[in-house]
Amino acid sequence: MVGDPSNSLDLKDCDVFNGRDRLDTTVKYCIYFTGIKEGKVLPMKPGLRGIYVRIHGRLLKQSFTEQKYVYPISKWNKFASGIRVELSIDWLRGEISLARDSLKFSNSKLEEQFGTTLRRVVSSFIQPQLKKLEQKSEKRAAKEHTQRIELAKKRVEGGKDVCIHNITAGFRFVPETDGELALLIANENVMKKISNSYKLLDYNDKAPFDCLIYDTGRREYVFAELEPTLIEFLQHKNIPENLAVIITWSLGKWRVGAKKKGLRFHFQLTAETGAKPGHYRLLAYPRVSSRKPSTVFPVVALDQILKK
């Protein structure tokens, strides 16, 4: 995870770990670590991270993060963006020659000894951190599973807050994710309320757009984005140019006429005179001062359509 350099941490923001190698106690280390948040290692500024060596207090400019040194370190790539290692190895003096952009060992045996020491120190730090990361991941997965089961129980009981009562077949529950919304519109009766000529062909939340719909009337494909509420569309940074419709469960807290700032555009929700219930337009302006929208997206709010 390289991360945005503007949001990366300095050394002063890091936790610092000092110690000695367990086998070669003449080797000391100082490790700066950014920490872990939401299951990911926080990024450190690119010019600071890496593995460096001090010889009698002098810090070599070269970072020893090339593959021949770090490839045996388990999960190095997972931690590389948020770690700086400084190894003090005084016995290297006289055993290496320094050039402007390179370093040479006096013999291959010494280089292997150095590499083994480096990997041992870095691995001894990473392994406990990896266990913490795995434990947090397991706790998060267990919590999500519990929440999923609780929601399933509510749906089995058929509470008013979780059911769509006028649907007699298929996915009958108020959708809370893009995937659940796809299950809802896979119901032909629901899709016909959006358009009599629409047929759902696929769903892929990893693609630039969520759904591929076929319009049998126009004989063309319709690229659709699914959102539980329209507010969540504001978080889209990369919006495909051929996006044809946004299908939401509800508008959320977005009222007609209101403007909101997204990651890429400034948006305004509008309703045309005589438009069908639940059908709107989302105007996308490149700047807040723009008078003319650069793009217009049709919006369908299912909770309003299914009230009929």
- pLDDT tens readout for residues 19-51: 999 999 999 999 999 998 877 889 999 889 999
Same-domain check for residues 196 and 129: no
Is 142 domain-assigned? no
* Residues 68 and 129 both lie in one domain: yes
Burial class of residue 137 in the structure, from the number of CB atoms within 10 Å of its CB (0-12 exposed, 13-18 middle, 19+ buried):
exposed
Q: Are residues 127 and 196 in the same domain?
A: no
- And the tokens for 193? 């309320």
Q: If pLDDT is split at 50, 70 and 90, which confidence band does 300 have?
A: very high
**Residue after which a domain boundary falls, among 136, 154, 189:** 136
Task: State the residue for tokens 């460096």.
Answer: 52
The reported pLDDT for the residue numbered 5 is 56
Judge whether 213 and 221 are in contact, CB under 8 Å: yes
Does 198 lie in the same domain as 278? yes
Let me know whether 123 and 51 are in one domain.
yes
Same domain for 109 and 19: yes
Helix (H) or strand (E) holding 150: helix 108-157
The one-letter amino acid at 245: V
Identify the pLDDT of residue 102: 60
CB count, 10 Å around CB of 127?
13
Q: Which of 197, 219, 199, 201 is nearest to 210 (CA)?
A: 201
Percentage of residues of the chain with pLDDT beyond 70: 93
Specify if 171 maps to a domain.
Answer: no
In a domain, 154, yes or no: no
Average of per-residue pLDDT across 105-117: 87
One domain, residues 188 and 259:
yes
Query: Measured between alpha carbons, how far is 199 from 53 in angstroms, rounded to an integer?
Result: 62
Residue with tokens 């593959």: 67
130 and 201 assigned to the same domain: no
The number of distinct structural domains making up the chain is: 2
Q: Is residue 253 a part of any domain in this protein?
A: yes
Distance in angstroms (rounded) separating the CA atoms of residues 101 and 85: 20
Q: In this structure, are 130 and 62 located in the same domain?
A: yes
Residue 158 included in any domain: no
Other CB atoms within 10 A of residue 87 CB: 23
Same domain, 129 and 234: no
Last residue of a domain, one of 136, 165, 191: 136
Domain CATH number, residue 48: 3.30.230
Does residue 267 sit in the same domain as residue 189?
Answer: yes
Rounded Cα–Cα distance for residues 183 and 172 (Å): 9
- Does 189 lie in the same domain as 131? no
Task: State which of 102, 136, 170 marks the end of a domain.
Answer: 136
pLDDT digits (tens, 9 = 90+) for 44-82: 998 899 999 999 988 888 888 888 889 888 889 889 999
Range of the domain at 78: 5-136
User: Residue 216: which of 200, 194, 197 has the closest Cα?
Assistant: 197
Asked if the structure places residue 260 within a domain, the reply is yes
> What percent helix, strand, coil does the chain show, rounded to 5?
30, 30, 40
* Residue at 19 is within a domain: yes
Quote the percentage of the chain above a pLDDT of 90.
48
Which single residue is written with the structure tokens 């397991």? 138
Q: For the residues 183-195, what does the mean pLDDT come to?
A: 89
In a domain, 33, yes or no: yes
Question: What is the length of the chain?
Answer: 308
- Amino acid (one-letter) located at 59: L
